């Protein structure tokens, strides 16, 4: 079961993977009635920087900052402190950075939130990217199944007291079985029909939620559709039926 008691429409995070602020802003304005949380990743952030965070938050949007910090512990600690000041909802670090790196991020966010009297953003540890499979993991020295790798990284994240995980929908069920409601689970690689793009471990919205996902990151399925609003409504309906 999902950790959070969310309405189906509140589970959706729209990925703003656009190279220009103007285009991203138009999508926020167009869909903010249907979507509350928007993902800002490196493509948009490199174009617009912190400005995009401030403007969207001021307009009532919640932000999932997906920059996937992965560096030495002191650098990730300082980066995490910077994040707190913007008032975002959640942000990502890479679990592959290791226990010490994740622990430093957790401590930094707690301290900075208390210092600034700001709400503490959720820290999400990215496990194994949905574009990877056993073959590609073997190329970088990770043997065994992707599920085994995800569980090992989740155990480290648990020890470091990270708030949540980013994982494929195919690993959600085993994560819930192993950790219960310990983590907020965010699932990217959400696809409808037979379309998967570059996600090798994609799942449908209904599959992800039925397995225990809290949030679904959805991008091209919506933003490249002829009728984005209709696609979103269909996704919300399928999610409501799988709760």
All domains of the chain, ordered by start, with CATH?
Answer: 8-242 (3.20.20.70)
Query: pLDDT of 63-91, one tens digit each?
Result: 999 999 999 999 999 999 999 999 999 99
Residue 194: pLDDT over 50: no
Query: pLDDT of 153-164, one tens digit each?
Result: 999 999 999 999
Q: Give the DSSP H or E segment for 61.
A: none
Q: In which band, very low, low, confident or very high, does the pLDDT at 190 lie, cut at 50, 70 and 90?
A: confident
pLDDT value for 199: 44
Residue 160: phi and psi, rounded to 5, are -80, -5
The CA distance from 197 to 199, in Å, is 6
Contact by Cβ (8 Å): 29, 4 = no
Residue 204: both structure tokens together: 């449908």
Residue 38: phi and psi, rounded to 5, are -125, 140
Would you call 203 helix, strand, or coil by DSSP?
strand
What would the mean pLDDT of 39-43 be, rounded to a whole number? 97
Residue 196: pLDDT over 60: no
Residue 87: both structure tokens together: 């008032």
Residue 197: pLDDT over 80: no
Nearest to 9 by CA among 212, 205, 147, 221: 205
Above pLDDT 90, what percent of the chain? 74
Q: Determine whether 177 is an active site residue.
A: no
| Long-range contacts, 191-196 (Cβ 8 Å, 24+) | 191/221, 192/221, 192/231, 192/234, 192/235, 195/221
What would the mean pLDDT of 12-36 be, rounded to a whole number? 95
DSSP structural state of residue 90: E
Nearest to 101 by CA among 80, 119, 121, 122: 80
Q: What is the DSSP string of 65-88?
A: EEEEE-S-HHHHHHHHHHHHTTT-
CA 95 remoteness from chain centre: 13
User: Is the dihedral angle over the CA atoms 4, 94, 197, 27 positive or is it negative?
Assistant: positive
Q: In which band, very low, low, confident or very high, does the pLDDT at 202 lie, cut at 50, 70 and 90?
A: low
Q: Give the DSSP H or E segment for 170.
A: helix 169-179
Q: In which band, very low, low, confident or very high, does the pLDDT at 15 lie, cut at 50, 70 and 90?
A: very high
**Within 10 Å of residue 111's Cβ, how many Cβ atoms?**
14
Question: Choosing from 25, 36, 39, 68, which is the catalytic residue?
Answer: 68
Residue 242: pLDDT over 80: no
pLDDT value for 137: 86
pLDDT value for 145: 87
Residue 17: phi and psi, rounded to 5, are -90, 65
């Amino acid at each position: 079961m999902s950790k959070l008691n969310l309405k189906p429409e509140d589970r959706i995070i729209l990925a703003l993977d656009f190279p220009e602020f103007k285009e991203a802003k138009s999508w926020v304005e167009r869909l903010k009635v249907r979507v509350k949380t928007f993902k800002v990743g490196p493509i948009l952030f490199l174009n617009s920087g912190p400005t995009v965070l401030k403007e969207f938050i001021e307009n009532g949007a919640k932000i999932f900052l997906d920059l996937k910090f992965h560096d030495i512990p002191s650098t990730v600690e300082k980066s995490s402190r910077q994040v707190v000041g913007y008032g975002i909802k959640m942000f990502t670090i890479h679990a592959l950075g290791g226990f010490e790196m994740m622990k430093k991020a957790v401590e930094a966010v707690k301290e900075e939130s208390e210092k600034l009297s700001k709400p503490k953003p959720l820290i999400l540890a990215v496990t194994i990217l949905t574009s990877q499979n056993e073959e590609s993991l073997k190329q970088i020295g990770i043997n065994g199944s992707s599920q085994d790798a995800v569980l090992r990284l989740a155990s480290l994240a648990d020890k470091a007291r990270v708030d949540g995980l980013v994982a494929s929908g195919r690993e959600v069920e085993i994560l819930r079985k192993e950790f219960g409601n310990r983590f907020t689970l965010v699932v990217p690689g959400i696809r409808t029909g037979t379309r998967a793009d570059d996600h090798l471990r994609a799942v449908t919205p209904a599959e992800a939620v039925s397995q225990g996902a809290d949030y679904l990151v959805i991008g091209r399925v919506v933003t490249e559709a002829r009728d984005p609003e209709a696609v979103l409504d269909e996704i919300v309906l399928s999610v409501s039926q799988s709760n």
